[in-house]
């Protein structure tokens, strides 16, 4: 098995998106696609970071061994051995501390990416803010702001910011949702909808007599909208979310 295949299989085993992996190792999202397709060789300067994020050995990624954990477990084993000896209270403290370290590390990586990306690698996106428009919200008004991203940006009709964690891990708080206006054959795709003066980005299901707005994050309950209730309440499916991208500073 060649390096591109090993990268893709290891990433998918951890259920990491290309964008998430790109963030963690400090490269562009488009670069991950090129590495996995074998279009571009993975840079040796990043192999250590990739090994750490994918939790496999460098030797495995390079194709020198089929042992995923080759020469990669000594430190982890020492940590595990110590944690096992701790009482439950101290184990919880250790977990909280490592979570803080991981969050700090991820923020540091993201800041480094933002600092190192050149302006020539950025794509400009016009992000429309929702504006009151009679019975609902309009995403085609004058209130908009320019953002920049290093991610690949497909053709879209307009864009808006994502707020909250109800659609995580697929759509992250603060990212930009790229919207294709309109809808067709609603059956579980992710849409931007307006309902009773509130905007939602949800998976939408048409069940004949009702619409179901469903979050990806399981801690959020479904929103059930019966057609009989919508006769006097504004409801509109604005468009389908085709992708989300992460804004960066120019």
Q: What is the pLDDT of residue 191?
A: 94
Which domains does the chain possess? 3-116 (1.10.260.40), 123-248 (2.10.109.10)
Q: Euclidean distance between the first and final Cα of the chain, in Å? A: 39
Rounded CA gap, 80 and 240, in Å? 45
Q: What is the pLDDT of residue 73?
A: 52
Q: What is the pLDDT of residue 74?
A: 56
Residues of the chain with pLDDT under 70: 69-77, 105-120, 130-143
Rounded CA gap, 229 and 21, in Å? 43
Q: How does 46-61 read in b/e, with b if 16+ C-beta sit within 10 Å?
A: ebeebbebbebbbbbb
Quote the DSSP letter at residue 212: E
Question: Can the peptide bond before residue 7 be classed as cis, meaning omega within 30 degrees of 0?
Answer: no
């Amino acid at each position: 098995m060649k390096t591109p295949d090993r990268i893709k299989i290891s990433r998918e085993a951890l259920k990491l998106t290309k964008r998430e992996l790109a963030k963690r190792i400090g490269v562009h999202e488009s670069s991950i696609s090129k590495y996995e397709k074998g279009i571009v060789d993975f840079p040796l300067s990043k192999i250590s970071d990739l090994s750490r994020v994918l939790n496999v050995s460098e030797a495995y990624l390079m194709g020198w061994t089929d042992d995923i954990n080759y020469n990669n477990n000594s430190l982890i084993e020492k940590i595990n051995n110590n944690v096992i000896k701790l009482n439950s209270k101290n184990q919880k403290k250790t977990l909280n501390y490592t979570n803080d370290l991981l969050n700090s590390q991820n923020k540091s990586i993201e800041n480094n990416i933002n600092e190192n990306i050149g302006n020539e690698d950025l794509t400009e996106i016009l992000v429309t803010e929702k504006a009151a428009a009679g019975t609902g919200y309009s995403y085609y008004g004058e209130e908009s702001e320019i953002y920049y991203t290093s991610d690949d940006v497909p053709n879209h009709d307009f864009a808006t910011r994502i707020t909250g964690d109800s659609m995580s891990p697929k759509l992250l708080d603060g990212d930009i949702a790229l919207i294709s206006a309109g809808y067709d054959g609603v059956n579980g795709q992710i849409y931007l909808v307006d309902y009773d003066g509130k905007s939602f980005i949800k998976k939408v299901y048409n069940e004949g007599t009702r619409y179901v707005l469903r979050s990806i994050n399981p801690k959020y309950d479904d929103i059930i909208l019966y057609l009989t209730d919508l006769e006097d309440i504004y409801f509109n499916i604005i468009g389908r979310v085709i992708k989300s991208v992460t804004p960066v500073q120019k």
